[in-house]
Amino acid sequence: MLTPEFKKRLGRSHTFVAAVWAALFASCAVAALVPSDFFEHIPVRDNYPYLLGLENLIWGLAIVTAVLLLWSRPRFYSVAAVFEATERPLVVDGIGESPEEKVASRLVYFYRSKMLRALALAESVAFYGLFLAVIEPDDYEWRLFCATAAALLVLFYPSRTFFDELMKEYERRETMREWR
């Protein structure tokens, strides 16, 4: 079994992911509140030949990113999916002295990496919106991108309940020795 001190140490990973989430969510809010006058001083010529194609590419990237996140959430961001990821033969330095602690730290590593990837993809939608604002500052479509990114971040909120559920499942499996 894991000691309470080690559980607290593993809980810092969740705290880190929650802090990253808060920073990314705040950046979405700030990006949405940027006045459109801010982008008018960036010189983009109206007669640039690939401007419409670039705008369509940005829309396509944002839609594909959002659909990818919505599709992957039930498949890759569940307790079972995190346990399944730890079974892959990837070399990860685990913290802790005992084998149980190393396995638990490997589990938390995969949880943290999955969450950070999802948060980065969600935030990328806001950046696509800012690129769109540079192209067309008078159009307010880019605020829609920021709102979509914020909604995706809310969808992938790193809840403490999920983390605790992950640790309880680890302890249950460790007691039963199901997955080693």
DSSP 8-state code for residue 156:
T
What is the predicted pLDDT for the residue at 30?
A: 93
State CA 109 to chain mean position distance.
Answer: 14
- Name the nearest CA neighbour of 31 among 124, 120, 115: 124
CB 27 within 8 A of CB 117: no
Residue 24: its pLDDT value, please? 97
Mean pLDDT by 10 residues, the chain (180 residues): 81 92 96 82 71 88 96 87 77 69 83 92 94 81 92 94 88 72
**Whole-prediction pTM:** 0.85
Collect all residues with Cβ–Cβ distance below 8 Å to 180 and sequence separation of at least 6: 103
